[in-house]
Amino acid sequence: MAKDLKVYNHLNYQEQLSEKEDGFVEFLLQHTEMDAPEIDENKAWEKLNQKIHNPNKGFVWMKIAAAVTILAVLSISVFLYNPTPDQLYIASADQKVSVTFPDGSVGILNANSSFTYPEEFGNERNVSFQGEAYFDIQKSNKPFIIDVNGVDVKVLGTAFNLITTEKEVKLYVDRGLVAFEKEGEQTQVSAGNEAIFNRETAAVSFNEIPSENIMSWRNGVFNFDKTPLSKALEELGEYYNVEFELSNEKLQNCRLSMSFNKEPLNKVLETISTALSIKTTRKNDTVKISGQGC
């Protein structure tokens, strides 16, 4: 029988198979037992009848296996339809980064800052934060909570600037009401005020006259009114992402009275140089300032 089947396969596929494939078929035929035993149809039906009415242990185990498989599929379905929200991590390097949170609130990261938050908010809107950022929070009954290494900043709908360091958390409220909270103790800060949370003492101090340029890193608007040059350069450096070096300590006492509105850095340096009779030299991200002082 094997010989006859071999000849049949060869004749049937000789035009369809390559020589390599035809040889493979012949190899299988030569190494496979093809003689099938005779089948007693009456005995086969009797055995099938017995298995249907008197299932043996193997049949029982098959049913158990099927049940376990169904439960496993249901478990996977529950996981797929009720997933745990993934955490997103957004970090800025030397550039500002704008982020829209799941509820439509916006956070603008300053350089070297980061957000961590879920893809979807639950009963609370929770965000972890490091560095400096401006927040514009959508109004909601769900509190928006910013975790800053154990210190919570809680709001419902407001706009504010937040700076975190190892020693303190500095908050300036642009609009609305914001609360510092640590271990259940809460301090509220209203619009136009600046508050500083000391990490070591857990005390909150208020600055009723914050710097006019506290938002300058974000909007590029600077107003200097007899501002010490060292302070002005610190604020300008943060926005333009450069570092200033003074060749003479006396230059720190110079006072700057002028305004800038998103001016190019070269024009800002030219204006300061003319006003204070100093020289500025820029190389990459470093600006050297030299002069006799004021």
Model confidence over 12-31: pLDDT tens digits? Answer: 434 444 444 444 334 434 44
pLDDT tens for 261-273 read 999 999 999 999 9
Rounded to whole angstroms, the Cα distance separating 168 from 277 reads 37
Least confident of 94-108, 157-171, 177-191, 215-229: 177-191
pLDDT of residue 129 exceeding 50:
yes
The more confident residue out of 69 and 168 is 168
pLDDT tens for 208-261 read 777 889 999 999 999 999 999 999 999 999 899 899 999 988 898 899 999 999
Distance of CA 217 to the CA centre of its chain: 22
State the helix-helix crossing angle for 19-30 and 2-13, rounded to 10 degrees.
170
Rounded to whole angstroms, the Cα distance separating 248 from 290 reads 7
pLDDT computed for residue 50 by the predictor: 61
269 near 287, Cβ under 8 Å?
Answer: yes
Eight-class DSSP state of 121: -
Rounded to whole angstroms, the Cα distance separating 110 from 58 reads 67
- Within 10 A of 118 (CB to CB), how many other CB atoms are there? 16
Eight-class DSSP state of 210: -
pLDDT of residue 155 exceeding 50:
yes
pLDDT computed for residue 58 by the predictor: 52
Rounded to whole angstroms, the Cα distance separating 43 from 50 reads 11
Structure tokens at 153: 């900043």
Question: Residues of the chain with pLDDT > 90: what percent?
Answer: 55
Task: Print burial letters for 27-57: b (CB count within 10 Å at least 16), e (below 16).
Answer: eebeeeeeeeeeeeeeeeeeeeeeeeeeeee
Residue 220 backbone class (left: φ over 0; alpha: ψ -120 to 50; beta: rest): left
pLDDT computed for residue 44 by the predictor: 55
pLDDT computed for residue 51 by the predictor: 55
Most confident of 65-79, 108-122, 185-199: 108-122
Rounded to whole angstroms, the Cα distance separating 33 from 2 reads 8
Q: Which helix (H) or strand (E) holds 98?
A: strand 97-100
Using the structure block, give the residue that is written with the tokens 């049940």.
67
pLDDT of residue 47 exceeding 70:
no
Rounded to whole angstroms, the Cα distance separating 236 from 269 reads 10
pLDDT computed for residue 253 by the predictor: 84
Residue whose C-alpha is closest to residue 132's, from 165, 155, 160, 110 = 110
